[in-house]
């Protein structure tokens, strides 16, 4: 006989021996219980999601409100630690800038534009300082202009230092 035919007959016999209707794995009540158990964790997270949404919305409203001028901080008072850097520090920054070549060997447009813009703004502040000193302006105004000039010189030092490092790395 053929072994393939024997396998088919054995399989057919086993299939006939199976019960007519297979038993259900579980009933309708068990299905409902399991479905309810799956949705309980999602229900617990619903409160957290609502809280997170409300928090993000509140932060957005506060950010827009502050940006549009709804909240104004008190003007800063001149504190002893907020005093401008000593004149020696500013002079040292200016000496270092003067020691650099006027233009680097390789000029990058973006860096050169930043340097030129900072130099122009420093010149404008210098003009304002001269005019205010001639008009015998209020000392607070002179101090504010001097602080602005010091910040601009510091920014120029940082840009030129980065430019110098980039040139040396080539």
**CA–CA separation, 160 and 158 (whole Å):** 6
Q: Which residues make Cβ contacts (< 8 Å) with residue 142, sequence separation at least 6? A: 129, 132, 133
Helix (H, G, I), strand (E, B) or coil at 77: coil
Helix (H, G, I), strand (E, B) or coil at 88: helix
pLDDT score recorded for residue 120:
92
Q: Across the chain, what does the average pLDDT equal?
A: 77
For residue range 44-81, list pLDDT tens digits in order. 666 667 777 777 888 878 877 777 765 554 545 555 55
pLDDT score recorded for residue 86:
60
CA distances from 152 to 8, 21, 23, 90, 109 (A): 92, 88, 84, 11, 20
Q: For residue 125, is pLDDT > 60?
A: yes
Q: Quick one: average pLDDT of 147-161? A: 87
- What is the value of pTM for the model shown? 0.45
pLDDT score recorded for residue 42:
60
pLDDT score recorded for residue 51:
74
Proportion of the chain above pLDDT 90, given as a percent: 3
The ranges assigned to domains in the chain are 21-67, 84-168
For residue range 13-49, list pLDDT tens digits in order. 988 888 777 667 778 888 888 888 877 666 666 666 7
């Amino acid at each position: 006989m053929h072994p393939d035919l024997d396998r088919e007959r054995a399989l057919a016999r086993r299939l006939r021996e199976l019960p007519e209707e297979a038993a259900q794995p579980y009933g309708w009540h068990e299905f409902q219980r399991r479905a309810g158990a799956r949705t309980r964790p999602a229900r617990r997270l619903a409160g957290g999601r609502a809280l997170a949404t409300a928090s993000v919305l509140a932060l957005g409203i506060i950010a827009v409100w502050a940006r549009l001028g709804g909240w104004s901080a008190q003007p800063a008072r001149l504190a002893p630690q907020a005093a401008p850097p000593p004149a020696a520090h500013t002079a040292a920054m200016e000496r270092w800038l003067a020691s650099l070549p006027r233009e680097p060997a390789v000029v990058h447009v973006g860096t050169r534009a930043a340097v030129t813009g900072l130099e122009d703004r420093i010149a404008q502040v210098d003009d304002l300082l001269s005019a205010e000193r001639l008009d015998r302006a209020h000392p607070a105004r002179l101090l504010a202009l001097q602080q602005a000039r010091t910040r601009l010189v510091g920014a120029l030092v940082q840009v030129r230092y980065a430019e110098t490092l980039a040139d040396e790395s080539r």
